[in-house]
Amino acid sequence: MLGGLCSDGHFDVSIGRAVRQACSATWNLGFSFTNSTQGYAREQVQVGAELYSAIVQFLKVFPELQTVPFFLTGESYAGKYVPALAYTIHHNNPTAELKVNLKGIAVGNGFTDPITILAYSHFVYQLGLVDTNIYKYMKNVEEAGKMEIRLGNLYDAFLLLNVDLDTYIENSHHQNPYNILYEVEPQVGGDFYNFVELPEVRLAIHVGDQEFSSGSDVYEYMVDDFMNTVRPWLEEIIENYRVLYYSGQMDVMVAYPLSVGLYNTLEFGAAQEYRNSKRVPWYVDGRLAGYLKSGGNFTEVLVRNAGHMVPTDQPVWALDLITRFTRDNLPPSRK
């Protein structure tokens, strides 16, 4: 719903009003709710299974879409959701009555492998946002957090991740870890929280009297799994489908150099090809939009002058990137 109202959807939500935007394509977005605590997912196997069930039901309702190339996309914590669903599709397709025509996945600033992301200290220190003393303290916190992950103490690792980020925010006085260009998080797209509470909007989107929540309950029930990884699933997906991971240059939360720490240690058939390849520039309308590196089915991209939410910060470049990816028209890396 955040994407549909504030990033790339039909509406331009401003304070107190919303203007419907004309567009040449159609898409849908929705909401979900549960009246029971059992309705909340607790780990990624469950997430994959429930999303798979939804996709299969959707394709049964619209059978004309069953043969259309199917791509999964998402950003941030969807760095787990997207691989989880792709992995579930991959393992169900061989015996399923209805096969999902999965062709690839695209993930933006993906929180896929927390142990490689728990390394903020060096990144923010090199940016000059913390001093040497804070850098050393954060480094120690991160090492402790990684040890807890290795020991299987994921909740303790989650607490240390929060200590690490809180230390950075408190000492840098930089309240927005999603884009270092803004010291506070801008109200992207306007006041959509109040917009969805308007009586006419509630009626139009058929939510009845359900209480609106931005996801705090969903987050709470996933905490114990927050620091778990889906790296093995991603590696299997790369062997069988096209995979794009892109990162906004200005993000701290899932910073590009930390993501590269994952990319460089992935194990798949063309992993060495990826590691040995050279980055190439990527241009849109004559402007340098970023840099691209690939090997086999896997491509990673740095998007310039963008933060955690690339389509919001650089919509034209994001459109070019996802269009090229789905059409299998990304520029190749140099060998």
Strands (E), 49-155: 70-75, 102-108
pLDDT, tens only, 256-308: 999 999 999 999 999 999 999 999 999 999 999 999 999 999 999 999 999 99
Has residue 93 got a pLDDT over 70? yes
Please name which of 10, 237, 258, 233 lies closest in space to residue 116, comparing C-alpha atoms.
258
Provide mean pLDDT across the span 19-35.
64
The per-residue pLDDT for 7 is 58
pTM: 0.90
Cβ–Cβ under 8 Å, residues 56 and 100: yes
Has residue 231 got a pLDDT over 60? yes
Greater confidence (132 vs 24) lies with 132
CA dihedral 184→190→194→195, nearest 10 degrees, is -160
Strand partners, 243: 105, 298
Residue-range domains of the chain with CATH:
45-113+229-335 (3.40.50.1820), 118-186 (no CATH)
The per-residue pLDDT for 22 is 53
Active site residues: 76, 251, 308
Residue where the block lists tokens 């607790």: 42
Provide mean pLDDT across the span 98-107.
98
| Token duo for residue 204 | 């139009």
| Token duo for residue 200 | 């006419």
Please name which of 297, 229, 258 lies closest in space to residue 77, comparing C-alpha atoms.
229
| Token duo for residue 96 | 């399923």
Mean pLDDT of the chain: 89
